[in-house]
Amino acid sequence: MSLNPQISDWHGRRVWLVGASTGIGLACAQALRAAGAQVVVSARNPQGVLDWAAQDAGVQWRVLDVCDAPQVQATARALLAEGPLDMVVYAAGYYQAQRAHAMDLAQMLQHDKVNYQGALQVIDAVLPDMLARGRGHITLVSSVAGWRGLPNGLAYGPTKAALTHLAETLYVDLQDRGIGVSVVNPGFVATPLTAQNQFTMPALISPEEAAREMLKGWAQGQFDIHFPKRFTLWLKLLRVLPYRIYFPLVRWFTGL
């Protein structure tokens, strides 16, 4: 059953992707543009986006630091002055592996600022216009790392858990207001963030494959877009295990 309106025709749709200069965000922006959408890409650093934007009038670049609340509001106002946003994708992310015996509070707070508070800033900036129009779609890129507590996830995992919870609550509140909400929960994707991992990542996929899965999820009207299924379905099983089984299993599987 579709929980959201199904989106398969992107022609004429305007999408703002926040945190999309590399990785999943950039690959998704490129896939959406190829499907006919008008895309606006924002992040702190342009990296591979400026050359692309210079060659295609359907691509815009707007510099944005999601931790700068006034800049988020000003950027959203400028974009909305040019026309409505049919979808906003929050893909900004920050990740540093951390364990409790080496807790770094500053790093933990930075995770919260980018991964969670940044999403709140963007939603606050775009939601009033969507409510006034009675249409639009908000997508939050979370992670399977937020499904249950995992080693090395002390700083990252809780922010992604919060993001998933936020998406669930937004959906409950907005489903009868004409606004779609979806949460994207990727497994391991080959991005600059995951490149720092010092272990073999199971079921590792490319950003391009992740983008294809996202477009497939939107086309099917999914709320929870998770991939690759050969990995995420096992993790969903872990979510329902009692702690007396889950904790020893995680320790055995990770060796940590």
pTM for the predicted model, two decimal places: 0.94
Cα(196)–Cα(94) distance, rounded to whole angstroms?
12
* Mean pLDDT, residues 177-204 taken together: 78
What are the Cα distances from residue 90, in Å, to 102, 121, 132?
A: 29, 10, 21
Q: 228 preceded by cis ω (within 30°)?
A: yes
Q: Please give the radius of gyration of the chain, using alpha carbons only, rounded to the nearest integer.
A: 18
pLDDT score of 216 more than 80: yes
* Mean pLDDT, residues 123-148 taken together: 97
What CATH architecture does domain 14-254 belong to? 3-Layer(aba) Sandwich (3.40)
pLDDT score of 138 more than 60: yes
Q: In 3-state terms, what secondary structure has residue 182?
A: strand
What does the pLDDT read at residue 200?
Answer: 66
pLDDT digit string (tens) for 16-30?
999 998 889 999 999
**Residue-averaged pLDDT of the chain:** 93
What does the pLDDT read at residue 1?
Answer: 80
Which position has the higher pLDDT, 168 or 48?
Answer: 168
Dihedral pair phi/psi, residue 218, rounded to 5°: -65, -40
What are the Cα distances from residue 135, in Å, to 55, 75, 168, 181?
A: 30, 20, 18, 11
Which position has the higher pLDDT, 192 or 156?
Answer: 156
Cα(164)–Cα(40) distance, rounded to whole angstroms?
24
Ranges of each domain in the chain: 14-254
- 204: pLDDT confidence band, cut at 50, 70 and 90? confident
* Mean pLDDT, residues 236-246 taken together: 92
Cα(45)–Cα(245) distance, rounded to whole angstroms?
43
Q: How many CB atoms lie within 10 A of CB 161?
A: 19
What does the pLDDT read at residue 195?
Answer: 56
What does the pLDDT read at residue 202?
Answer: 66
* Mean pLDDT, residues 215-238 taken together: 94
- DSSP letter at 112 equals I
Q: What count of residues does the chain have?
A: 256
Q: Cβ distance 136 to 182 under 8 Å?
A: no
Active site positions, annotated = 156
pLDDT digit string (tens) for 51-101?
899 999 999 999 999 999 999 999 999 999 999 999 999 999 999 999 999
DSSP conformation letters of 59-70: EEEEE--TT-HH
Least confident of 92-101, 127-136, 230-239: 230-239
- 189: pLDDT confidence band, cut at 50, 70 and 90? low
What does the pLDDT read at residue 194?
Answer: 64
Cα(65)–Cα(71) distance, rounded to whole angstroms?
7
Cα(65)–Cα(75) distance, rounded to whole angstroms?
10
What does the pLDDT read at residue 174?
Answer: 98
pLDDT score of 248 more than 90: yes
